[in-house]
Amino acid sequence: MNKLQSLLIAAHVYIVQVSGWRRYAIAFFLGVATALTMAPYYLLPLLIIGFSGLIWLLDGATRESRRYRVSFLLGWCFAFGYLYLSLYWMAFSFVHTASGPAQAVLLLVMGFVGVAGLAGFIALFYGTATLLMRRFWSADWSRLLVFIICWSLAEFARGHVLTGLPWNLTGQAFAGVPALAQPVAWIGPYGLGIIVLLLAALPALAVTNGSSGGEQADQPLLSVLHPFAITAVGFSLILLVGAIRLAINPVTYSQHAKVQVVQPNVAQADKINPELFPQNFLAAFNLSGGDVLQELEPDEELYIIWPENAAYDYFQRDQTALDLLQEALPTNAVLVSGAIRVDETPAADFRYFNSLHIIRDMQVPDTKERNQLQELHLETRQRMIVGSYDKHHLAPFGEYVPFIGLFQALGIDKLVPLNNSLSRGDGPAVLTVGKTVMAPIICYETIFPGRMYPKGQRPDWMVTVTNDAWFGDSVGPKQHLAQARLRAIETGVPMVRSANTGISAVIGPAGRILDTIPLQQAGTIVSRLPVAVERTIYDRLGNIPYFLMLMLFFVLVLRRQIVR
The CATH number of residue 514's host domain is 3.60.110.10
**Count: domains in the chain:** 2
The answer to whether residues 258 and 245 belong to one domain is no
pLDDT of residue 215: 47
| DSSP output for 267-328 | -HHHHT-GGGHHHHHHHHHTTSSTHHHHT--TT-EEEEE--TTTTTTHHHH-HHHHHHHHHH
Inform me whether the pLDDT recorded for 131 exceeds 90. yes
Q: Is the pLDDT of residue 8 over 80?
A: yes
- Please report whether residue 133 resides in a domain: yes
Q: Do 64 and 98 belong to one domain?
A: yes
% of the chain beyond a pLDDT of 90: 72
- Note whether 60 and 187 are same-domain residues: yes
Supply the range of the domain harboring residue 152: 3-249+543-563
Sheet holding 495-499, edge to edge: 431-433, 436-442, 461-466, 495-499, 504-507, 513-517
pLDDT at 421: 75
Q: Cβ atoms within 10 A of the Cβ of 161, count?
A: 11
Separation between Cα atoms, residue 504 and residue 518, nearest integer Å = 7
411-422 average pLDDT score: 56
Distance CA 482, CA 472 (A): 17
Instruction: Please report the pLDDT score of residue 372 as a whole number.
Output: 59
**β-pairing verdict for 301-305 and 253-263:** parallel
**134, 341, 349, 404, 560 from 389: Cα distances, Å:** 47, 9, 19, 26, 51
By DSSP bridging, strand 523-530 and strand 513-517 are unpaired
Together in a domain, 400 and 471: yes
Is 363 inside any structural domain?
Answer: yes
Q: Is 303 within 8 Å of 263 (Cβ atoms)?
A: no
Specify whether the CB–CB gap between 228 and 203 falls below 8 A: yes
What was the pLDDT predicted at 371?
Answer: 63
For residue 329, give every residue at least 6 positions away whose Cβ sits within 8 Å of its Cβ, in sequence order, or none: 288, 289, 293, 304, 335, 383
Pair 439, 517 in one domain:
yes
Report which secondary-structure segment, H or E, holds 334: strand 333-343
* Residue 497 CB coordination number (10 Å): 30
- Which pLDDT value is given to residue 7? 85
* Sign, CA torsion 152/155/161/164: negative
**pLDDT of residue 74 exceeding 80:** yes
Q: Which of 122-136, 195-209, 358-372, 534-548 has the lowest mean pLDDT?
A: 358-372
Q: How far is CA 53 from CA 170, 204, 438, 496, 505, in A?
A: 16, 7, 45, 39, 37
DSSP 430: -
150/282 Cα distance (integer angstroms) = 51
CA distance 380 to 371: 9
Residue 270 sits in the same domain as residue 203? no
Give this prediction's pTM. Answer: 0.91
pLDDT value at residue 213: 45
Query: What is the structure's pLDDT at 418?
Result: 45
Q: Is the dihedral of CA 402, 308, 505, 437 positive or negative?
A: positive
Regarding whether 278 and 215 lie in a shared domain, the answer is: no
Kindly state whether residue 197 falls inside one of the protein's structural domains: yes
Each residue's pLDDT tens digit, 511-555: 999 999 999 999 999 999 999 999 999 999 999 999 999 999 999
Measured CA to CA, the distance from residue 481 to residue 496 in angstroms comes to: 11
Residue 422 has pLDDT above 90, yes or no: no
Contact 271, 228 (CB under 8 A): no
Q: What is the 3-state secondary structure (H, E, C) of 156-209?
A: HHHCCHHHCCCCCCHHHHHHHCHHHHCCHHHHHHHHHHHHHHHHHHHHHHHCCC
Residues 101, 83: Cα–Cα separation, whole Å? 28
State the Cα–Cα distance between residues 408 and 108, nearest whole angstrom: 17
Residue 224 Cα to chain centre, angstroms = 37
| Residue-level pLDDT at 217 | 47
Question: Do the domain assignments include residue 208?
Answer: yes
First to last CA, the chain: 31
For the cut 90, the answer to whether the pLDDT of residue 175 exceeds it is: yes
pLDDT exceeds cutoff 50 at 276? yes
Q: Choose the weakest-confidence range: 179-183, 222-226, 486-490.
A: 222-226
Same domain, 187 and 282: no
The SS3 of residue 390 is strand
What band does 6 get if pLDDT is binned at 50, 70 and 90? confident
What pLDDT was estimated at residue 10? Answer: 87
Is residue 538 one of the residues assigned to a domain?
no
Q: How far apart are CA 171 and CA 376, in angstroms?
A: 62
User: What is the mean pLDDT of the segment spanning 229-237?
Assistant: 95
Task: Note whether residue 298 is domain-resident.
Answer: yes
Mean pLDDT of the chain: 90
- Tell whether 10 and 131 lie within a shared domain: yes
CB 339 within 8 A of CB 310: yes
> What pLDDT is attached to residue 399?
77
Weakest-pLDDT range from 118-132, 310-324, 434-448:
310-324
Asked whether residue 537 is assigned to any structural domain, the reply reads no
Over residues 449-489, the pLDDT tens digits come to 999 999 999 999 999 999 999 999 999 999 999 999 999 99
Query: Do residues 183 and 297 both lie within one domain?
Result: no
Calculate the alpha carbon distances from 14 to 58, 254, 319 in Å. Answer: 13, 59, 71
Distance CA 103, CA 484 (A): 34
Residues 441 and 559 in one domain: no
527 domain-assigned: yes
Q: Verify that 224 and 353 share a domain, yes or no.
A: no
Over residues 323-341, the pLDDT tens digits come to 899 889 998 999 999 999 9
